[in-house]
Amino acid sequence: MSILQNKNRRILLGTDWWTDCDDVAALRMMCRMAKRGVWTPDGVILNAAAPYAAASLLAILRDEGFGDVPVGIDIAADDFGGRPPYQYAVAKKAGAVAADTTPGTLGTPGTPGRPIPENAALVNGVTLYRQMLACAADGSMELLEIGYLQVLAALLSSPPDECSPLDGIALVKTKVRRIWCMAGNWQEGGHGKENNFCRNARARRAAHAVLRDCPVPVTFLGWEVGATVIAHPKEDPDDLVRIAFEAHGSPDGRSAWDPLLVLLAAHDVSGIHDAGFRAVSGRASVDAETGENFFEVKPGGSHAYVIKTMPDAWYEKQVDAWL
Q: How far is the CB of 13 from Ca ion (least distance, A)?
A: 10
**168 binds Ca ion per the rule CB under 5 A:** no
Sign of the Cα torsion 89, 94, 97, 99 reads positive
- Measured from the CB atom, the residue of 23 and 63 that comes closer to Ca ion is 23
For residue 289, give the 3-state DSSP assignment: coil
C-alpha distances (whole Å) from 252 to each of 226, 237, 248, 249, 309 are 16, 13, 11, 9, 25
Position 116: which residue type? I
Q: Cβ 244 to Ca ion, closest distance in Å?
A: 12
CB of 227 to Ca ion, least distance (A): 14
- Burial (CB count within 10 angstroms: exposed 0-12, middle 13-18, buried 19+), residue 113: exposed
- Which one of 20-28, 37-45, 46-54, 228-236 is the stretch in contact with Ca ion (CB under 5 A)? 20-28
Q: Does 146 bind Ca ion (CB under 5 A)?
A: yes
How many angstroms separate the CA atoms of 130 and 44, rounded? 13
CB of residue 275 vs Ca ion: minimum separation in angstroms?
19
Q: Candidates 16-24, 74-82, 94-102, 128-136: pick the segment binding Ca ion (CB under 5 A).
A: 16-24
Residue 146 C-beta: closest distance to Ca ion, Å: 4
Side-chain-facing half-sphere of 257: CA atoms under 13 Å: 23
Question: Among 25, 21, 20, which residue's Cα sits nearest to residue 319?
Answer: 25
Candidates 10, 12, 13, 16; binder of Ca ion (CB under 5 A) is 16
- Cβ-contact 98, 105 below 8 angstroms: no
Query: What minimum distance in Å lies between the beta carbon of 23 and Ca ion?
Result: 4
- Considering only residues 243 to 302 of the shown chain, the ones binding Ca ion according to CB under 5 A are 258
Stretch that binds Ca ion, among 138-146, 201-209, 233-241, 311-319 (CB under 5 A): 138-146
In the chain, the amino acid numbered 145 is E
Query: Closest CB to Ca ion among 117 and 147?
Result: 147
Figure out which of the listed residues 23, 42, 64, 224 binds Ca ion, where binding follows CB under 5 A: 23
Whether the CB-CB separation of 304 and 219 falls below 8 Å is answered with yes
- How many Cβ atoms from other residues are within 10 Å of residue 85's Cβ? 18
Alpha helices in 177-311 (DSSP H): 195-198, 201-213, 223-226, 240-248, 257-267
For Ca ion, give the closer residue by CB, 258 or 316: 258
| Min dist. Cβ of residue 157 to Ca ion (A) | 23
178-217 binders of Ca ion (CB under 5 A): none
- In one-letter notation, the amino acid at residue 211 is L
Query: Is 145 a residue that touches Ca ion (CB under 5 A)?
Result: no
In the list 14, 107, 110, 147, the residue contacting Ca ion (rule: CB under 5 A) is 147
Q: Which stretch binds Ca ion (CB under 5 A): 4-12, 13-21, 43-51, 84-92?
A: 13-21
Q: Which is nearer to Ca ion, 16 or 142 (CB)?
A: 16
Q: What does the alpha-carbon distance between residue 318 and residue 51 come to, in Å, rounded to a whole number? A: 32
User: Which residues here bind Ca ion, judged by CB under 5 A?
Assistant: 16, 23, 146-147, 258
